[in-house]
Structure 1
Amino acid sequence: MATRTENAAAEIDPRTAPATDRGHPVLPSRQRLPDRGRDCHALIVPLPAPVDPAAVRRRLDEAGRRCAGLRTSRLWETAVPTPRNTPAARRRLRTEALRPVRDDSFPLRAVLVRYSDGTAHLVLVADRRRVARTVLARLAATALSGTDHGEDDAPLPVTGATAAPAVPWAPVDWGLGDPNRRAVVSGRPLVLPPAAVSGKLLLGAVALATARYQGEGTVEVGYLDPGSGGQDVRVLRVGEIDEEQGPARLLAQLDHTSPAAAGPELPAVGLVVSDADDHTYLPALAPLFPLTLHCAQRADGRVEASAWFDEGTISPHVAESFCASVERLAARLATEPGESALSALPLMSPETTAEVLRLGGAGRRLGTTGRIDRRFEDVARRFPDAVALVDEGGELTYRQLDERADAVAAGLRGLGIAPATRVGVCLDRGATLVVALLGILKAGCAYVPMDFGYPADRLTYIVDDAQLALVIGDSAHFPEIPDVRVVGPDELGEARDPADATAAGRHGSPADAAYVIYTSGSTGRPKGVVVPHRNVTALLEATATDFALGPDDVWTLFHSSAFDFSVWEIWGCLLTGGRLVVVSYWTARDTDEFHRLLAEQRVTVLNQTPSAFTQLVRADRSAKDELSVRLLVFGGEPLDVQVLAPWFARHSPSWCRVVNMFGITETTVHVTAKTVTPADLVAGSRSVGRALPGWSLSVRDTRGRVLPPGAAGEIHVGGAGVADGYLGRPELTAQRFVVDEATGERLYRSGDKGRLRPDGLLDHLGRLDNQVKIRGHRIELDEIRSVLAGDPAVSAAAVVVGQDSPHDSASRRIDAYVVLDRNRARNTHIRQILDNARRILPDYMVPSTLTEIPAVPLTANGKPDVTRLPPPARAATADHRPHVEERTLVPDATPPDDGLGREILEIWEKILKTAVARSDNFFELGGNSLLVVHVLTTMRERGLPRVTLRDFYANSTADQFIGLVEGARGSVMP
């Protein structure tokens, strides 16, 4: 008799493997199983003492001779020096049972595992395609008693076909597996009610759990029925699960679900249901599906069930959570009355739900928060002579900034502006802007920032919606609005008693509104978000220690005051004693100038949107000036970590910390923080980190139920950053700001899709609605569509986002499509419609392309089908030919020379991805501020004359720009 001692399926680490057997004869314990295990099956037969190995071998030989196509195989024997029910015995049995056959000439292997108590197991392993389960059962019966219990004396069927290639698995987004652990298989026992084996109950529990994990009512569940031979893998396609129905309706629905042939990929979860006997049958030696549930009912009524999963696709934590959900749902389906709704069946226990909420930061409270102006005054008292503010006009110390802000507050009081009043601010970036904002807060009022470049229509709307009586700005550049006074900052500084004016602010509360920032709205108009003082001071309390923010830091004010990133830049700096360098409009758009400013001012804390940073990286690669940035913070839009590769090549993460922060205006700028390392680039991480202290995160389904880690849903934010709501919009506030019935906590429904990981990290997966982020600005595409559709010449409109380069966010653009009403638009061309939109929309929301179409394509459900829209007519706004999708370069009256002119046109064509003529305007061809930087950077890399950003905007027609560059070249020639 042959003996065997080697371990062909070595365990990863038996010492640390979880003790999950719990009486199961075979359960994988973090073993690396070969792929061929999916093609093999096994039957494990207990042999009572005493065992006669010679008799077992003789009986198997006899049975083998009766099998057509089955060559005589030896009986291997393995001796285990422990009793049968010990961990060592189970490990040995597991090793033999999970070791597939590898020789096509011998499709069957028999092993006798003997124990020190005289008992044994007979393990039969075979190629599943060649040796059916019925063959294994008859071989086992013969080995036990010497009698073949098969019908008649027909030969046992053994086919000569080799196993077909295994069907690949579909990706499992919620599995969170580690690709480096592919083929590492773990097992977990399942506790199921006796009714689970019959009546489709287990299938119902699995289908319902899968539907909630994947966020879709229609699911596929893999299926293999060993009773039919155990050879063919099938798929059960469960139609839309209506959670308003009861368990009885669901089970009735499953009764009419028939197995179908497997498609090109197998689903995430599969079932293997065995018939009742005293043997242990393994339909495969490795999971047939990423998560495979085995279920068998023994003769005594016991249900023996387990789950096998591949850690390369399903993480142990997610597998544990999913299995616990199946157990819970199966138990409830077996006991719930038929009329109760499925929606009432929880996926997790209350204890598990509470643990998931704690994982997302729930329960972590901050200390006392205060007002912005008072915190600033505390800093000013500690560092009165330190430089607080720097712009192109000079510097202000903390004492000087405090005094000037007091003067503004006094001026507001002198004009009769009472505390709690909203005051508009429309100033270009500079020291005066910061003085005005701080002065408004000192007066106990809330500031409403408006970008200096907004069109008159948008400024008028904000003034009316916020009910502003006073705007601090330039009356020469602000629209005349009845009953609205526009005053310059200098006028406000003429008050006589600033101490009396700031008394209102000192008596104010941290709960008072600090600012109202307007964001894009789906109804066609922006909406104001009301944020109190305490939210901003809480943000600093949550981050200052971790980021080591202090008086040695130098920040930049790079972003518009109407963009909430500026809240972080201004108050993050001034409330921690830092020096704030105001970046002018043109410097912010000229990356070479901006890089030079960063170096000259020795900026240590830099905040950027990924779109803007993409351009800065290109300038940094060729710049000679050394930067002093120690903290680089990303926000405003999703970060593609690949853009950081050249930065890490020049700036070591050991002295420049890179942090990706996810946030929303309604939750006070930032919600999470994730330190990004070069390892994240390799992994392609989409993580935005953990919730800040005092903030909380939970991922929930459409019914507001908390989802377990791995499952994707809508990100809900709670805690210290949640805003008061939308100004003057109680219905919208009630819709987006909700109260958790379980905890009583107020939450903001972000509209962002995400998933929580078992370690508390959040993956950001995009938007659930029609909102997008472009160059850091939050944009509702429906607002743009509403403006276009409101044009009298337009009968219908559609708006989408296009992107030429998947890894260059600067190439993102807004593509719009319109259906013209020819009865009203006989003399209207496409450019007029776009010009009309510019009078209403801010520059960053104006479509880059506008294409006329005969009709908006619709889906079967009558919704716009954006996948069927034609390519955008990139040059439509320039040449009045909306149906032309590509332009052919034609000779102009003044053709470009063979050198410089031609090279510049080629650069424009490459970056705009369309043909360019000398009469074309860069911005009418779809250009934007970031693509301008692309052009200037490319010119510098080619050694062409340097052109400032301001000059580019002033010479945006190709012919003008070529003349400008030719002139610059001539001025530097000897």
Structure 2
Amino acid sequence: VVLHTARADRHYLPCQAPLFPLTVFGREGKDGTYEAECWFDEGTFAPRVVELFCASVERLAVHFAEVGGGTGKAPALSLTDVPFVGPKDTGQILRLGGADRTDGPLVPPRRIDTIFSEVADQRPDAVALVDDTGQLTYRQLNERAERVAAGLYALGVRRGTRVGVFLDRDASLVVALLGVLKAGGAYVPIDVNYPAERVGYICENASLAHVIVRGDDSGFPPVGGVRAVPLGQLSTPALDPGADGVRSDPGSADDDAYVIYTSGSTGRPKGVVVPHRNVAALLDATTADFGLGPDDVWTLFHSSAFDFSVWEIWGCLLTGGRLVVVSYWVARDTHAFYRLIARHGVTVLNQTPSAFAQLARIDGQERGAMPVRLLVFGGESLDVRVLGPWFARHSPSRCRVVNMFGITETTVHVTARTITPADVLKRSRSVGAALPGWSVSVRDDTGRVLPPGAAGEIYVGGAGVADRYLGQPELTARRFVMDPVTGDRLYRSGDRGRLHPDGTLDHLGRLDSQVKIRGHRIELDEIRSVLLDDPAVGAAVAVVRETVPGDPASSRIDAYVVSATDGREVDTRRILDEASRILPDYMTPATLTQIASVPLTGNGKPDVARLPEPVVGHAGRPDRQRTAADAPDGAGGLADAVLGVWSRCLRREVMADDNFFELGGNSLLVVRVLSEMREQGLPGVTPRDFYANSTAGQFIRLVEQRSS
């Protein structure tokens, strides 16, 4: 940047050619005004880039003039009260982020079950659903769901009634969800692996009178006022599916479709209520761009209590595709899942980046023909570097890779960006532009719109914004706000982002204590609140660490507690056991360490950097060196090989009496252990057997039995 005082009798040039790739030469006139020229090297900068730069400078200059005029009239005005952009630019920025867009499909709001019925009428004999036991055509799926709807009606379920669904992943789960919608109700999915107290809280909070279960041995805990109804009973109701009253009320697209519970900072999960029209809008916004249709084969890989499943189930069935339901244990066995993809010819695959990292590793070993044509990432931030080996084996012209940003409160997805090898080289953090019908803007902590390039909180508007938090009007009012500029209803995401001049969005992480581990959205304050409920705990803090930087599989939750009784030693194992009765396994801390006090920053917040190294292993037991006495019976080549695999994956010395999960193990590391064992030629073990034999000594004995 070169500044010069202008003279009427001469014209000064800073140089004959740009000495720098970009040179700005400014001249100040006698009247105090400025004019400037921009010199640039066309071998370095494209003219369009320089045009954008100059336009940004011009806008900044205009804004400085506006601010100067304002402060001249009101000298006491605080700079924090000065808007970053004027009204005209604010409108342009909002339109840049998708507000008032008209290029999206203009279709009336519709119900999920109505769209499905139309697809079933058009493709009655096409296969809709596949699981380990067989398959269902669209006609069969529709008829079974109608019978479930009739059975629910006989139980008193009416339009707007919420019905719990407590089922494993198989065809019956999809039948039940569709049946609830056909009855006019809203389904509330409850993961069968949730602890009893969390199940009870969801039932109470959602005012559930009925929960659909597998049978009498479903594992559903007794909950007062809630009737567990076996799916088999609903499928053979006394009331005929076509009887008057069952379907006489067609319902509305504005009716609630489902309630999914997410982690909450109060120590209890919060229910997000999403209407039918949102799901229909999501499919309208993506079907043409992604080429979704009857030739596609999808997988239902994720829990129905995770909103990614909404996209998997209805994205497939409402476009006429074939949905392959992946059982719980196959989803945890990456080799088995890889074979399932090949066997069924899966064309549309949805994955969290954490889960995909394991699948990509297996793909590199197998080097088989992958039928996937569309790979969609969601649920957590994507580090594009994981895609380098993938693109080396799979051309982006054969398999489109799409990164999508979204939140449960905005109906799964908000933006989409097709990832290319160039993005991998640039380490792009872009999640793309808003879907047609959605909008994004970046704002400061007072809600004012920020210009492109400035980082702030991501606000989401448009067709995907959820209706409310169930039974929490105050939280709803804080997070779902009205835009004073457009009058639209927006959701404050709590995510940090940056808008680009082309309307694409960078995702820069979270603004609060919320994190994502293996696709699960977690409020660390919820974990802290649960720990503080224990009378022995006076203070608590929870943090997330990657034991191997950049490796999502190594992510774990470390918790710290301070004794409530002047430093007296607490039973950390008991406290963790109590917490596991309330928190699902993915939220239960891997370690719990007692400390004298929580270190604080100058602002009075926990100073994570000053927390001590956690006590890993048996709660409260200090680490110790492995000795001969720790070795299992028959220790030698096989035992040492297994312990070596565990030690490498857990990044610590493992002893025979160590429990894999108490050492910080998780589902992704289980996959890694089993994969490395296969590579070394050790006997195969299924994930189910691993979970049942998670102590090193037990596991070694199991491997020895398999080898013999």
Shorter-chain TM range is over 0.9
- The aligned residue for residue 875 of structure 1 is 617
With normalisation by structure 2, the TM-score equals 0.94
* Cα displacement (A) at 1:502: 7.3
Task: Give the letter aligned to residue 405 of structure 1.
Answer: A
TM-score of the superposed pair, with normalisation by structure 1: 0.69
Residue in 1 that maps onto 2:341:
598
Structure-2 change in CA distance of 1:46 and 1:418 (3 Å): closer
CA contact (8 A) 1:793 1:824 kept: no
Q: 2: distance between equivalents of 1:306 and 1:870?
A: 55
Q: 1:300-449 residue pairs with structure 2 within 5 A?
A: 301-304=31-34, 306=36, 317=52, 320-321=55-56, 323-334=58-69, 335-365=72-102, 366-449=106-189
Question: Which sections of structure 1, spanning at least 5 residues, go unmatched?
Answer: 1-27, 29-37, 49-83, 85-89, 100-182, 190-279, 281-295
Instruction: Report SS of the residue matched to 2:314.
Output: helix
Partner of 2:575: 833
- Of the candidates 685, 693, 700, which is equivalent to residue 955 of structure 1? 693
The alpha carbon displacement at 1:869 in A equals 0.4
1:906-925 paired onto structure 2 within 5 Å: 906-925=644-663
What letter matches 1:185 in structure 2?
L
Q: Which has the higher contact order (CA 8 A, sep 6+)?
A: 2
Match for 1:617: what amino acid? A
Of 78, 95, 107 in structure 1, the residue corresponding to residue 15 of structure 2 is 95
Q: Which structure is larger by alpha-carbon Rg, 1 or 2?
A: 1
Q: CA deviation at 1:479?
A: 1.4
Classify 1:319/1:950 alpha carbon distance in 2 versus 1 (closer, same or farther; 3 Å): farther
Question: Which residue among 186, 194, 197 is the counterpart of 1:454?
Answer: 194
1:670-726 superposed Cα distances (whole Å, 9 cap, x missing partner): 001110111111010000011000000101111111111100000000000000010
CA offset at residue 936 of structure 1? 0.7
1:500 partner SS: coil
C-alpha contact 1:643 1:807 (8 A) present in aligned 2: no
1:304, distance to aligned residue in structure 2 (A):
2.6
Give the equivalent residue in structure 2 for 1:891. Answer: 628
Task: Give 1:691's aligned amino acid.
Answer: A
Residue 626 of structure 2 aligns with an amino acid whose one-letter code is: L
Match of 1:185 among 7, 16, 22: 22
Deviation at 1:899, TM superposition (A): 1.3
Q: Distance in 2 between matches of 1:524 and 1:860?
A: 26
Q: Which runs of structure 2 are paired with 1:488-567 in the superposition (5 Å)?
A: 488-495=230-237, 496-500=239-243, 503-504=246-247, 507-567=250-310
CA offsets, 1:865-907, max 9 Å, x none? Answer: 1111011212242xx32xx3x4321222645633121121111
1:767-803 CA-to-partner distances (Å, cap 9, x unmatched) read: 0011001000000000001101111111111101100
Determine helix, strand or coil for the equivalent of 2:440: strand
2:617 and 2:659 in contact (8 A); partners too: no
User: Is the contact between residue 370 and residue 533 of structure 1 (CA under 8 Å) also seen in structure 2?
Assistant: yes
- Kindly tell me: are residues 855 and 482 of structure 1, through their superposed partners in 2, closer, same or farther at Cα, counting changes over 3 Å? same
Contact 1:595 1:616 in 2 (8 A): yes
Q: Is this contact kept in 2: 1:645–1:678, CA < 8 A?
A: yes
Alignment match, 1:224: none
Report how many aligned residue pairs link the two structures. Answer: 694
How far apart in 1 are the matches of 2:566 and 2:6?
81
Alpha-carbon distance in structure 2 between the residues aligned to 1:746 and 1:309: 44
Which one of 217, 224, 234 corresponds to residue 482 of structure 1? 224
CA contact (8 A) 1:618 1:937 kept: no
User: Retained in 2: the 8 A contact 1:390–1:431?
Assistant: yes
Match of 1:847 among 581, 589, 595: 589
Q: Distance in 2 between matches of 1:960 and 1:906?
A: 15
Task: Please tell me whether the aligned partners of residues 406 and 502 of structure 1 are also in contact (alpha carbons under 8 angstroms).
Answer: no
The runs of at least 4 consecutive aligned structure 1 residues that moved more than 6 Å come to: 41-46, 307-315
| 2:406 counterpart residue number | 663
Contact 1:615 1:933 in 2 (8 A): yes
Amino acid at match of 1:864: P
| Residue type at the aligned position of 2:483 | D
Alignment of 1:36-435 (within 5 A): 93-96=13-16, 183-187=20-24, 296=28, 298=30, 301-304=31-34, 306=36, 317=52, 320-321=55-56, 323-334=58-69, 335-365=72-102, 366-435=106-175
- How far apart are residue 731 of structure 1 and its match? 0.6
The 1:310/1:47 distance shift into structure 2, 3 A limit, reads: closer
Equivalent AA in structure 2 for residue 328 of structure 1: H
Question: Residue 640 of structure 1: CA displacement?
Answer: 0.6
- Residue equivalent to 2:599: 857
| Conserved 8 A contact 1:309-1:319 | no
2:24 aligns to what SS in structure 1? strand
Structure 1 residue 483, shift from structure 2 partner: 1.4
Partner amino acid, structure 1, of 2:571: H
Gap change, CA 1:403 and 1:682, over 3 Å in 2: same
Q: Secondary structure at the match of 2:628?
A: coil
Q: Following the alignment from structure 1 to structure 2, what is the Cα–Cα distance between the partners of residues 505 and 637?
A: 42
Answer yes or no: is the 8 Å Cα contact 2:282–2:464 preserved in 1.
yes
Paired with 2:400 and 2:352, the residues of 1 have a C-alpha distance of 16
- Deviation at 1:358? 1.1
Q: Distance in 1 between matches of 2:568 and 2:578?
A: 14
Residues 349 and 914 of structure 1: is their aligned pair in 2 closer, same or farther, counting only changes over 3 Å? same
- Mark the CA change 1:315 to 1:531 in structure 2 (over 3 Å): closer, same or farther: farther
For the residues of structure 1 that align with 2:253 and 2:444, how far apart are their CA atoms? 34
Instruction: Determine the structure 1 residue equivalent to 2:542.
Output: 799
| Letter of the 1:379 counterpart | V
The alignment yields a C-alpha RMSD, in angstroms, of 2.3
1:94 deviates by 4.7
CA distance in 2, matches of 1:309, 1:337: 38
Query: Which amino acid in structure 1 is aligned with residue 342 of structure 2?
Result: A
Match of 2:476 in 1: 733
Determine the C-alpha separation between the residues in 1 that align with 2:631 and 2:67: 81
From 352, 377, 385, the equivalent of 1:634 is 377
Distance, in Å, in 1 between the alignment partners of 2:419 and 2:573 is 44
Q: Distance in 2 between matches of 1:643 and 1:537?
A: 32
Distance 1:860 1:823, change over 3 A: closer
Q: Residue by residue, what CA displacement relative to the aligned partner does 1:614-643 show, whole Å, maximum 9, x if unpaired?
A: 111111112254221000000000001111
> By how many angstroms is 1:653 displaced?
0.9
Shift of 1:309: 9.8
C-alpha contact (below 8 Å) 2:5/2:29 kept by paired residues? no
- The corresponding residue for 1:192 is none
**Identity score, percent:** 60
CA–CA separation in structure 2 for the residues paired with 1:458 and 1:322:
54
1:798–1:817 CA contact under 8 A, matched in 2: yes
SS in 1 for 2:629: coil
1:713 corresponds to 2:456: yes
User: Does the C-alpha gap of structure 1 residues 819 and 319 become closer, same or farther in structure 2, counting only changes over 3 Å?
Assistant: farther
Question: Take 1:845 and 1:505, find their aligned partners in 2: how far apart are those partners?
Answer: 44
2:488 partner letter: E
Structure 2 residue aligned with 1:464: 204
> Matched residues in 2 for 1:824 and 1:469: separation?
46
Please, which of 679, 682, 685 is the counterpart of residue 422 of structure 2?
A: 679
The answer to whether the 8 A contact 1:911-1:935 is kept is yes
Q: Which runs of 5+ in 2 are unaligned?
A: none
Q: Distance in 2 between matches of 1:371 and 1:44?
A: 68
Q: Give, in whole Å, the separation in 1 of the partners of 2:642 and 2:255.
A: 54
Matched letter for residue 369 of structure 1: P
